[in-house]
Amino acid sequence: MTLTTEQPGEAPGRTAATGQGRWGGVLRELLRTRRAMVGILLILALVLMAWIGPLLSPWEMGERDFTAFRSGPSPEHWFGTDNTGRDVFTLTMVGLQKSIIIGLLVAVLSTAVAAVVGAFAGYFLGLTDKALMWVTDLALVLPSFLILAILYPSLKDSGWIMFVLLLAAFMWMVTAKMVRGMTISLKEREYVLAAKYMGVPAWRIIFRHIIPNMASLLIVDATINVSSAIITETSLSYFGFGVQPPDVSLGSLIALGAPQALAFWWMFAFCTGLLVVLVLAVNLIGDGLRDALDPQAKRRS
Amino acid sequence: MTRTASAAGAEKATGRADDGTPVLEVTDLNVVFPGSARNPDIHAVRGVSYTVRPGEVLGIVGESGSGKSVSSMAAMGLLPDYAQVTGSIRLHGEELLGLDDRAMSAKRGNAIAMVFQDPLSGLTPVYTVGDQIAEAVQVHNPKATKQEAAERAVELLELVGIPEARRRYRAFPHEFSGGMRQRVMIAIAIANDPDLIICDEPTTALDVTIQAQILEVLKTAQRETGAAIVMITHDLGVVAGFADRVQVMYAGRLVESGSVDEVFYRSRMPYTMGLHGAVPHVTTEEKRPLVPISGNPPSLADLPPGCPFSPRCPIAVDACREAEPDLLPVGAEGHAAACVRAAEIEEQGWGVADVYPVPEIPPAEAAQRPRAERETVLAVEDLVKHHPLMKGAVFKRRVGTVYAVDGISFDIAEGETLGLVGESGCGKSSTLLEILSLDRPQSGRVEVLGRASGTGTARDKFAIRRNVQVVFQDPMSSLDPRMPVFEIIAEPLRTHGFPKADLPGRVSELLELVGLDAEQASRYPQHFSGGQRQRISIARALALEPKLLILDEPVSALDVSIQAGVVNLLDELKARLGLSYLFVAHDLSVVRHIADRVAVMYLGKIVEIGGVDEVYESPAHPYTRALLSAIPVPDPRVEREREHIVLTGDLPNPASPPKGCVFHTRCPVFAALGAEEKEACLSIQPAAEPTGTGSGDHAAACHYPDRAIGS
């Protein structure tokens, strides 16, 4: 015989007054952590900058200033110009846009794939599990960087969306394994058993009961994936296998500026600095989210 | 135990009696847990005062969250640093509050010891149990050599009843069962002849037969050390047989205290009365509805003004809501109650029935007809479920078999409740999951509403699911925390194609059926208390109007006052809706109350089955007899006179059950048999034979069901 360990605050009537669900609490907790707050503000600032910046800048994306090659920051060119007279500020902002979009899309896609693959493998076990985990292990042992580098150039006509798909295809495996493990423990929960004995079909149980109950893990994971997606995208683009001209991303800009970083620092410093700030901000939010979602990590004030 | 040690204990006891100071004196103890950020402070203990005299057993009874554990943790100095403790705690007249951790450590384990609820986490897994006891000895006697400490540890292990103590000294905690570990915890607690042992729910996590063993060990420990014991529990039965004095706590305060007899027979506080009325007794024959205490315990962060029990009290008057009554003497000496109307209750001599309105529950219609004429809802015949034990990663080989369910048969008629009882590990949950899966069993037959499981198409199976629903034990995990109550209850309806437009109506109807407010449908499970959540589970199970409800320990996670309400609800629903129940439980008192027939399981086999009165009044199988005798009855007089049959040993490993009769390793009848008679028990598994009592369907699987158990 065990006794219910009820938190005194759980008594009905009290919580009804505040009327906030779990997510309200998580949000409050998140906003209370200074790190997460800094992260969110940084991200908001970067997004605003990336989309409003090009509108403010007097220079268009493809436009070249033939009077100024490799000129340093000035009131006319805020971040200076590059070898062919393009405005580095406009370039960087457009590159930042692309990097943010790619990072977000890849993270969302790969987490979704991971959730579905992991949950199905963990819920059904047996043959389904064997097959899905074999695919996962295979994808895990393939040198993703190399394959992307070889594959993407031959597909580059299909644009950067194909690049996003390819990136996502190599990022879901570790999460899928985690999701599978959690599913195996979740499927023993009594509400899952209850649904099963009610006759609810398996796929409905997975989407209604299992995946929503892993939301905290998935959200944290997606956030962390954003930063690794950005890093991968940048490094691929740096080596020229990623985003192709005329599109630019932070990676291709860094590649352009790196050889001349000492002589013409503005072509290297701004895009690299923004990359660092972006990844840092995403990681700060990820850490904050993890703390806010995990009641055990909460410290007492 | 050495003579020196017991002599020392006796010396101590006499020494204490001389000066007459209490062992422990708690005065106006307050414990506040400051709320983090915007959460309010939690006032867990409010102005508690009591004394423990040398050698006495004080029982502290209360429901979860009543502050009973916190107040004793404060005495041990084990509360976290952020807890604000005020008042005074004196051990032999010496103030403990405000001592630093170092000074406190000298007291802990030496003068004052504790036995915790969970024997699993109480021992370090990487040291042998003997070393852990020896460590406890050495910490407080630095002069003792390793040898002496080890010798003493072996003595202690013998004292707490661990067979082959010298050999088991070198065993690791994981090699011990829960009951054995709890014995080791007790050995550690008495290692230094403490003056006070605080036991915090020491038997809650254990099975009844093991509980009986542990209570015996505690009695021995007390005899040997002469220590006073503070017994914290929620189980009135444990207190009735064990304690000299009882204190009842509610919402962080003492609401009644006095000698066991006073508190049990002449309680003067409505809450204590309610607790008595809410517990089903294993010995009472008649089926009276239990007395539920309405409402829930108040939140300690936000107490109502006045008596904290007044919102739930049936005889509350205006004065109750104005100021909190003090604990004042009433009636016999030493008896005190915190109730505005205590004097009135004393004068009128009110009992439970006078204070609490007893709910009326109509008898079930189907139960009026004879059993043979009723439809059979569930029939189980020779059901077998063996789990293979596999070893190896790539090439799995079978290294053994767990005989979880090993050929059991029973049936349930319409409108009937079958109680399936047994200790943990006996296979009752496996039976239930096997029935619920509706798959073809490994061997044997399961027939639900006349349809054999494992035959027919998936569509047939789906149709049967409508008629068999389940309510699980744990109200925390049986509801999806991410879905509002409306969605939870609507899920079975949606799955079985209930018209969408009628959903809101049906959900409100169901919520009202189980006694909840239909307006609460938009809230999430975590906003409800345990009892309410269990009601939601029942509403969900009833949504499809099933014929058979399978209840897996539905009330064992609830506090007694809440449990009574849920049990009454189940009684009422059965009568109103003509349901049949398969009620799986380890609590025999609840089963006696709710079931019509009962089956007792041991190691995957049914050892006895029959009408509930026949089985409880004239149990034939020695295991049933031991089980029934092990349950503490919340009645001090009965409890003092009862002769307990204490089974020896633990449940054998279900992967290697004993040959012949599975029970012979622990059987008191077997132990008393002659060598020739033993032969049958050792070689042949007895089949269930009718015992000839009652209506004829009472059967027991024992070779010698008529033998008396010598005590």
CATH code, domain carrying A268: 1.10.3720.10
Radius of gyration of the CA atoms of chain A, in A: 23
What pLDDT, on a 0 to 100 scale, did the predictor assign at position A106? 92
Which of B36, B469, B474 is facing A300, going by the closest CB pair? B36
Rounded CA-CA distance B514/B532 in Å is 9
Could you report the per-residue pLDDT of A48-67, keeping only the tens digit for each?
988 888 888 777 777 777 77
Rounded CA-CA distance B32/B602 in Å is 46
Substitution target from A125, A185, A192, A197 for chain B, most B beta carbons within 10 A: A197
Domain covering B366-467+544-604, topology: Rossmann fold (3.40.50)
Cα of B300 to nearest chain A Cα, Å:
6
**CATH 3.40.50.1820 assigned to B3-243:** no
How many domains would you assign to chain A? 1
Contacts of A5 in chain B (CB under 8 A): 64
**A-contacting residues in B 520-549 (Cβ below 8 Å):** 520, 523-524, 526-530, 532, 537, 540-541, 544
Q: Do B299 and A11 touch (CB under 8 A)?
A: yes
Report whether pLDDT(A14) > 50.
no
Give pLDDT < 70 ranges for chain B.
1-20, 36-38, 285-287, 364-367, 392-394, 692-696, 710-711
Q: Do B469 and A189 touch (CB under 8 A)?
A: no
Number of helical (H) and strand (E) elements in chain B, helices listed first: 26, 24
Is B396 near chain A, with CB under 8 Å?
A: no
What pLDDT, on a 0 to 100 scale, did the predictor assign at position B5? 43
* Collapsed DSSP state (helix, strand, coil) of residue A186: helix
How far does CA A71 lie from the centroid of its chain? 35
What pLDDT, on a 0 to 100 scale, did the predictor assign at position B37? 60
What secondary structure letter does DSSP report for B43? E
**Residue A299 binned pLDDT confidence (cut-offs 50, 70, 90):** very low
Better pLDDT: A231 or A82: A231
Radius of gyration of the CA atoms of chain B, in A: 27
Nearest-5° angle of CA B524, CA B529, CA B531?
A: 115
Instruction: Return the residue matching tokens 């309400």.
Output: B565
Is B432 near chain A, with CB under 8 Å?
A: no
Contacts of B483 in chain A (CB under 8 A): 208, 212
* Collapsed DSSP state (helix, strand, coil) of residue B681: helix
Q: What percent of chain A has pLDDT over 70?
A: 88
- Asked if residue A76 is part of any domain, the answer here is no
Could you report the per-residue pLDDT of A190-221, keeping only the tens digit for each?
899 999 888 889 999 999 899 888 888 888 88
- Asked if residue A148 is part of any domain, the answer here is yes
Indicate the residue type of B72.
S
Is B64 near chain A, with CB under 8 Å?
A: yes
Q: Do B557 and A2 touch (CB under 8 A)?
A: yes
Q: Do B529 and A191 touch (CB under 8 A)?
A: no
**Mean pLDDT in residue range A81-92:** 81
- The end-to-end CA distance of chain B, in Å, is 24
Which of A8, A194, A213 is facing B300, going by the closest CB pair? A8
Are domains B3-243 and B366-467+544-604 of this chain identical in fold?
yes
Domain edges within chain B: 3-243, 253-355, 366-467+544-604
Q: Which two tokens stand for residue B626?
A: 């031991």
CB neighbourhood size of B38 (10 A): 8
- Asked if residue A13 is part of any domain, the answer here is no
Is A6 near chain B, with CB under 8 Å?
A: yes
Rounded CA-CA distance B701/B359 in Å is 39
Could you report the per-residue pLDDT of B655-685, keeping only the tens digit for each?
788 888 888 888 888 888 888 888 888 888 8
Contacts of B436 in chain A (CB under 8 A): 193, 197
Tell me which residue of B384, B342, B418 sits closest to B594, measured CA to CA.
Answer: B418
**B-contacting residues in A 155-194 (Cβ below 8 Å):** 189-191, 193-194
Q: What are phi and psi of B8, to 5 degrees?
A: -60, -40
Is A27 near chain B, with CB under 8 Å?
A: no
Is B66 near chain A, with CB under 8 Å?
A: no
Residue of A nearest to B207 (CA): A1
Q: Contact, A81 vs A89, CB < 8 A?
A: no
- Asked if residue A151 is part of any domain, the answer here is yes
Contacts of B465 in chain A (CB under 8 A): 197-199
Cα of B194 to nearest chain A Cα, Å:
28
| Total length of chain A | 301
Q: Which two tokens stand for residue A72?
A: 């340093």
Question: Residue B204 burial (CB < 10 Å; 0-12/13-18/19+)?
Answer: middle
Report whether pLDDT(A16) > 50.
no
**Mean pLDDT in residue range A110-134:** 93
Domain that holds residue A204: 90-297
**A-contacting residues in B 277-336 (Cβ below 8 Å):** 296-302
Contacts of A298 in chain B (CB under 8 A): 36
Give me the helix-helix angle, A22-32 and A266-293, nearest 10°.
Answer: 130
Q: Do A194 and B537 touch (CB under 8 A)?
A: yes
What pLDDT, on a 0 to 100 scale, did the predictor assign at position A24? 67
**A-contacting residues in B 143-202 (Cβ below 8 Å):** 201
- Asked if residue A291 is part of any domain, the answer here is yes
What pLDDT, on a 0 to 100 scale, did the predictor assign at position A69? 75
Contacting residues for B36 by C-beta, under 8 A, at least 6 apart: A298, A300, A301
Report whether pLDDT(A3) > 60.
no
